[in-house]
Amino acid sequence: MAAAERITFAQFAQVFPATETRVPMIIESEVGYVAQRDPVFIPPWLQLIRSARDAAALVLVEARAAVGKSMLARNLAHTTGGLYWDMSEIHVGHGTLWGRLAQTFGTEGLPAVMADLMGGTALLVLDALDEAELRSAGRGFDAFLEDLGQLLAVPRRKPVVVMFGRSETIEYVQLVLETTLSIARFGIEEFDKPAALAFIDSRLDQRAGAGYAAHRSMRPQFERARDLLLNALEMSLIAEVDDTSAEDRRMSLAAWRGERSRAFLGYAPVLESISGYLDVTEPGRSSNFYFRLANDLTETLHRPVATGGAHWILLHSIVVELLDREQAKFVKQAREVLHAAPDADWQRVFDRDEQLTRILHRVAGLETPVALPAGFDPDQEGAYRGLLRTTLPNHPFLGPRSSFVNVVMRDFTYAWALDRSDMEPRRIVHESVNRETYQVSPMLGRFHLIGDDPDVPPVCRAEDIGLIYESLVAEYAVEKRPSLIISRAEGEVEATMLMGGGESTGSLVRVLEPDVGIRFWRRLSNADIIGGLPVSLGVPGSSFTLGPKVHIHASLFDVTARHVRVSRRSGDEVRIVADDGYLSSSGHLEIDTRGTGFFGVYWEDIRFPWAQYASDPPPPPQVQEWVLLGDFVLLRRMTSAFLSRKPDAKSGIRKHSRARTDESLEIFSGSSGRMRQLLDYMINCDLVTKEGGGYYRMNVSKLNERHMRPRPLSAGYLTSPVRDFLTEFNRSLAPDA
């Protein structure tokens, strides 16, 4: 098969053996057969990432969070008649593979199951590999993989085991088993346009049940609203809004307009949110809602955001609209039940903060300490709680058994909680994400970093930075992850987090309270952590994956995880330096290394288990990273100053103004000597032209020639060409330059 081959779900199912044999089970467990096809399953395309060198002994399937791995895995088991194993709730180790099958099928059924697997006539589908890895901190997961390798050592005509997981976990499984097994690797693609439309219809059908289905009964109005919303989101992804005509925004195409559109709008959680936004279950108001949608979108599309683009802002507004809709419905009912003073603050009744507080506490199984707002007598509390008992369980954020209905609503709520000044909501989120099976999604970081002012970098507390970082990179395969820099200049109270390497990458973030410590959560790769900051790795009792390509220069280095797995390919380097030493708060720590790249640590008094990795300190870099980072912040401000928009006197349309005076540059960028040095260097490089009357003009064409395009630069993307330019600038200031 060619490296870029795409296949349908039906073609993928034909890769594996199929059987109609059902070996009787003696107990119900997480291993079993899938009797029925899921009625809301929309088959995705799969892409071949790596073909097997011979007949594949093992097939690995990867996808980002909440993309539908489990649904595909279950339907694959149903289609092939194979065994489906949900591994999300178990700890694995030596003997788990055989022991669990024996426990499920008993001594009489186990030989038949093993004969089918060994003979290559049946399939074993292993799902939720990520959760199994997280639960099995230490070497248990590796032991499980060794047992699996023994099962697959005998060649077969078709692969009898397929494993589903996220890119990081799948990458590790491949690293462990590729020397002994022939492995094929697939990725689940996001939905194409027809599948996405079918997905929306399927979810709305499910929501409506036997009730009123506005998307069916008012089909023309619904399709117009749906297409308008999808087009608005798509236009915010692919082009400058000013360059997009109204006709372009109205036009509905049969396919997505590009890969960025597919990556965002074909992502199942985003489609879930769009479905919820378009869900109108009350007869009589659907047409008004659909018509009003056009007006609601216009302002949002013109708001840039430093960490991801207008499409994330629009998704954020969709979720907020659901909260406002719930408040309006609740207040309408409350006005009929509650007695209130004339000055009662109805705007605060069941407002966004109250809804999110109650939802967060309900999912956590806690009582909600929210009182009635001013103007309501305390004796109304009982009636108010009665309304909540009937209303809150049906909230669009909540699913069955008081859980979140989907990952978008969960991460919107968590992002809101992490941004609160009071500790209680943040404590609830920390307890939740520290559980061994919690899986971060791309939404949490995006929602948390959406700010009111696009010219002001968003903020994040140091204790949450690892969680937000993992969320921001969750949408990327391991080999495509953007680089990360966290640094603090001397004398600065805050640190700076910067992600770069691609135009779709979130960028500059202010890190608050860095002296508390920069805590990374489960994984860290392709990163430089510098500037004398305390650094902590892991969650107590968990595993932590370090690498590839990581450099940490900390003041104090701490590991709270129980097991550290260092992963580096040939040529990669993982290096840790701690000026003030190492502090272990994990008790007995295990370290495993995979791959052939370099791994070294340096601090005073290196002891077990780090001693075998002791190395000399690295030589100082030619350009300090924190200096380069500060220059980048200044360059970004200057670029934004040149490219800021102002209304045209005649048309009123906001246009770029690329000319600035000395005074306007200093007001926007700060009147520092460093700014003047950078401006002079840009003039020498012909990136800025000095004109008469003290005016300067930015030469956009020259920026483009250097691949330093203004839009990503002003948005804060530290790409490789920008890094090279700033490195040259620093070297030009050196005494011997």
Average pLDDT over residues 389-410: 82
Say which residue, 556 or 130, is predicted with more confidence.
556
Tokens of 218: 């008012």
Position 455 scores a pLDDT of 58
**Total residues belonging to the chain:** 737
Confidence of residue 502 (pLDDT cuts 50, 70, 90): very low
Lowest-confidence pick of 262-271, 530-539, 545-554, 594-603 = 262-271
Position 304 scores a pLDDT of 38
């979108």: which residue's tokens? 297
Integer-rounded Cα Rg, in Å, for the chain is: 28
Average pLDDT over residues 94-111: 92
CB–CB of 497/506 below 8 Å? no
3-state class (DSSP) for residue 453: coil
Confidence of residue 138 (pLDDT cuts 50, 70, 90): low
Tokens of 654: 């906001």
Q: How many helices (H) and strands (E) does the chain have?
A: 26, 27
Residue 654 has pLDDT above 70, yes or no: no
Closest CA to 714 of 303, 313, 306: 306
3-state class (DSSP) for residue 24: coil
Angle between helix 662-669 and helix 625-643 axes, rounded to 10 deg: 130
Confidence of residue 346 (pLDDT cuts 50, 70, 90): confident
Position 121 scores a pLDDT of 94
Strand spans (E) along 168-256? 183-188
Most confident of 296-310, 453-467, 630-644: 453-467
Average pLDDT over residues 648-655: 42
Say which residue, 424 or 291, is predicted with more confidence.
424
Average pLDDT over residues 464-486: 82
Q: Tell me the pairing of strands 550-559 and 582-584.
A: parallel
Q: What percentage of residues in the chain have a pLDDT greater than 90?
A: 31
Beta bridge partners of 165: 62
State the DSSP H helix or E strand holding residue 145, giving kind and residue range, or none if neither.
helix 140-151
Residue 31 has pLDDT above 50, yes or no: yes
Position 242 scores a pLDDT of 40
Residue 75 has pLDDT above 60, yes or no: yes
Position 286 scores a pLDDT of 59
Residue 259, C-beta contacts closer than 8 angstroms, at least 6 positions apart: none
Average pLDDT over residues 363-372: 81
Tokens of 553: 């220069």
Say which residue, 489 or 40, is predicted with more confidence.
40
Lowest-confidence pick of 63-72, 241-250, 574-583 = 241-250
Strand spans (E) along 4-89? 6-7, 31-33, 46-50, 58-62, 83-86
Most confident of 41-45, 53-57, 207-211, 319-323: 41-45
3-state class (DSSP) for residue 28: coil
Q: Is the pTM of this model over 0.95?
A: no
- Burial class of residue 158, CB neighbours in 10 A (0-12, 13-18, 19+): middle
Count Cα atoms within 13 angstroms, Cβ side, for 504. 19
Confidence of residue 650 (pLDDT cuts 50, 70, 90): very low
User: What's the rounded Cα separation, in Å, for the pair 723 and 720?
Assistant: 5
Lowest-confidence pick of 142-156, 281-295, 378-392, 478-492 = 281-295
User: What's the rounded Cα separation, in Å, for the pair 696 and 355?
Assistant: 51
User: What's the rounded Cα separation, in Å, for the pair 642 and 664?
Assistant: 10
Average pLDDT over residues 142-153: 92
Residue 667 has pLDDT above 60, yes or no: no
Q: Tell me the pairing of strands 695-698 and 688-691.
A: antiparallel
Average pLDDT of the residues of the chain: 81
Average pLDDT over residues 385-391: 82
Q: How far is CA 159 from CA 175, 247, 312, 672, in A?
A: 19, 50, 40, 65
Tokens of 261: 């559109």
Express each pLDDT in 16-26 by its tens digit. Answer: 999 999 999 99
Could you write out the three-class secondary structure of 243-292? HCCHHHHHCCCCCCCCHHHHHHHCCHHHHHHHHHHCCCCCCCCHHHHHHH
Residue 643 has pLDDT above 70, yes or no: no
Residue 674, C-beta contacts closer than 8 angstroms, at least 6 positions apart: 630, 631, 634
Position 390 scores a pLDDT of 78
Average pLDDT over residues 411-425: 92
Confidence of residue 310 (pLDDT cuts 50, 70, 90): low
Position 651 scores a pLDDT of 42
Residue 115 has pLDDT above 80, yes or no: yes
Strand spans (E) along 91-215? 124-127, 161-165, 183-188
Position 582 scores a pLDDT of 92
Position 663 scores a pLDDT of 55
Position 280 scores a pLDDT of 74
Closest CA to 706 of 721, 723, 724: 721
Express each pLDDT in 161-215 by its tens digit. Answer: 999 998 878 988 998 899 899 999 999 998 999 999 999 999 898 878 877 788 8
CB–CB of 306/317 below 8 Å? no
Lowest-confidence pick of 164-178, 393-407, 591-605 = 393-407
Position 96 scores a pLDDT of 93
Could you write out the three-class secondary structure of 643-674? HCEEECCCCCCEEECCEEEHHHHHHHHCCCHH
Q: How far is CA 147 from CA 106, 144, 150, 184, in A?
A: 20, 5, 5, 19
Lowest-confidence pick of 7-11, 396-400, 468-472 = 396-400
Say which residue, 486 or 624, is predicted with more confidence.
486
Position 244 scores a pLDDT of 45
Q: What percentage of residues in the chain have a pLDDT greater than 70?
A: 82
